[in-house]
Structure 1
Amino acid sequence: MQATTSESAEATVDPVATLQGQLVDMGEQLIRALPGLVIGLVILFVTWLVAKFAVRIVDKMTGRTEMRPSLRNLLETIVRLAIWIFGLMVAAIVVMPGLTPASLIAGLGIGAVAIGFAFQDIFENFLAGVLIMIREKMRIGDVIECEGIVGKVEHITLRETHVRKLSGEVTLVPNSMLFKNPVEILTDDPMRRHEVVAGVSYDTDLDHAADVIRKAVEGVEGVEVDKGIDVFAQEFNASSVDFNVRWWAGSTPRNMWESKDKVVRAIKRALDDAGIEIPFPYVTHTFKERVPLGEKPGELA
């Protein structure tokens, strides 16, 4: 008799009424949570305003100093990130009253581990970007060379560095690449040593030729004579004795090409005026038998 009663009770359950009751409960919970959601949105809006004004204040304070632009960007990013983290935590606690700061921090820790494994490359570039901004070398405006990429550093973010190549294109280089690999900073110093090879014929007085070349380079505009000019007899080449000529001039790629152009022109002009030959490559052919000269092909024996 009891089993029959139980079965009849289950049969009388109305699924529509049950669903309606659940929807009503959800609506009541949403209405109760609505003030917290509104306050949370207000907190996020205030966080956005505070972060905006805080970044402006940091920008004004650092703008009066000689701080590097990359380091200024790092400070602004840290201030903005710290304010947003704090604002999001406060908004989450207001929306979900049962959430405590301790449980929120614990959850963030577990989530950070999971996110760290999932986005390892992103966080690697992020950390590399922070370290690049902190270190003194490689500033915005420097011309660098790394892994075959040569160009001018235009912008450094927390994930990538914008390098304007000498041909005009922009290359977005991951920060981890610039941090792990050797980076050659071509414009770290305003001056840079350049070199070119100049050859003279074997019958030339090498001391006289070296003196002529040195005086020619000294007269070139833009060459730092005070830093010294080197003219070294380098090697016996196939048709000439080669001098390695080294001098100091501007460090940018444009300075290098302009300086080399002027130096090569000056050396050529000075050697011509001194009557010193810059030889062409000579080729000597050796034949097994005598080659008749001045005879017609039909007259050959």
Structure 2
Amino acid sequence: MDTLNILLKQLQSMWVGLVSALPNFVIALVVLLITWIVAKFARNIADRLTSHTGMRPSLQGLIETLIGIAIWVLGILIAATIILPGLTPASLVAGLGIGTVAIGFAFQDIFENFLAGILIMLRKKMRIGDMISCEGIEGRVEHIALRETYVRKLSNELSVVPNSVLFKNPVEIITDEDERRHEIVAGVSYDTDLEVARDVIRKAVGTAEGVNTDKRIDVFAREFNSSSIDFTVRWWAGSKPLAMHQTRDTVIRNINRMLNEAGIEIPFPYVTNTFKEPLRLVRDDEPEGARQS
């Protein structure tokens, strides 16, 4: 009976404590409701302010997210102190510090990508729609999130790249400028007048569609190859991959046509075979016995 009485008294005290704490729960819920309203209102204000600054959309979203997180953290801390009056700001900070260290070790990669995403958004380079190349991944940037970046390959596959990869490794931004320089190698036979060949190739490139003739067209003798003397041919055109393929197509076709019109040979590879002993030439109509003799 004593045990039963003790248990009943404990249940009664717990019930009394719960009833007495109900007002605190209600006030905490009201605080959380107010926090939700304030966070939503603050994000709308931040959206209106940042939309007039010319800031990239991903960075606008980051600012709105950080403002919302800060308001929610403050609201949750206030609600926690209301529910648990004995909880002091010092104990909250100490608890958050220990918890942050533990969470940091457990989710190191996630936080690394998160911080890398923030730093990438703060960069002026690598905008949405840019063609990039990094660690064997080449494609168009579709979206920059806090933890990963979505890159659409030229063959239409989507690559989800962790932001830490793009932050720690060199990234080539192919479309950073409207134009870039393109290059091919063109070869002519050894008996060709190289000055004439140079002029013909330069004229062929200058008349190709899509080539920017306001910038310099380079035609440099490159090397003595096995069956040809090679030229390095360089020109300026659009930076997008489609522009590169289109101008390269027209440049190669123009060079081939104009070299043929000028009577300049574009040689095939020549192979010279040497033998230790003289070879005997045999005609097809020669008798079998004569062949063996």
TM class, shorter-length: over 0.9
In structure 1, the partner of 2:202 is 214
Unmatched tracts of structure 2, length 5 or more: none
The CA deviation string for residues 262-293 of structure 1, in whole angstroms up to 9 with x for no partner, is: 21111112112222111111222223322314
**C-alpha separation in 2, matches of 1:176 and 1:297:** 78
SS in 2 for 1:226: coil
In structure 2, the partner of 1:8 is none
In structure 1, the partner of 2:86 is 98
The CA deviation string for residues 46-66 of structure 1, in whole angstroms up to 9 with x for no partner, is: 222222222222122211122
**C-alpha separation in 2, matches of 1:297 and 1:187:** 70
In structure 2, the partner of 1:6 is none
**C-alpha separation in 1, matches of 2:278 and 2:7:** 112
In terms of mean alpha carbon deviation, does 192-201 or 104-113 score higher?
Answer: 104-113
In structure 2, the partner of 1:267 is 255
**C-alpha separation in 2, matches of 1:270 and 1:52:** 67
- Counting matched residue pairs gives 289
Contact 1:125/1:174, CA 8 A, preserved across alignment: yes
Unmatched tracts of structure 1, length 5 or more: 1-11
Letter in 2 for 1:95: I
Letter in 1 for 2:232: N
Contact 1:186/1:251, CA 8 A, preserved across alignment: yes
Find out whether 1:249 has 2:229 as its counterpart: no
Q: CA RMSD for the aligned pairs? A: 1.8
Give 1:158 deviation, angstroms: 1.7
**C-alpha separation in 1, matches of 2:76 and 2:287:** 98
Structure 2 vs 1, CA of residues 95 and 210 (structure 1 numbering), >3 Å: closer, same or farther? same
Pick from 1, 13, 29: which aligns with 2:2?
13
In structure 1, the partner of 2:65 is 77
Give 1:297 deviation, angstroms: 7.0
The CA deviation string for residues 35-94 of structure 1, in whole angstroms up to 9 with x for no partner, is: 222222232232222222222221222111222223222212221121111111111112
In structure 1, the partner of 2:46 is 58
In structure 2, the partner of 1:167 is 155
Contact 1:212/1:270, CA 8 A, preserved across alignment: yes
Identity %: 63
Find out whether 1:290 has 2:279 as its counterpart: yes
Map 1:102-251 → 2, pairs under 5 A? 102-251=90-239
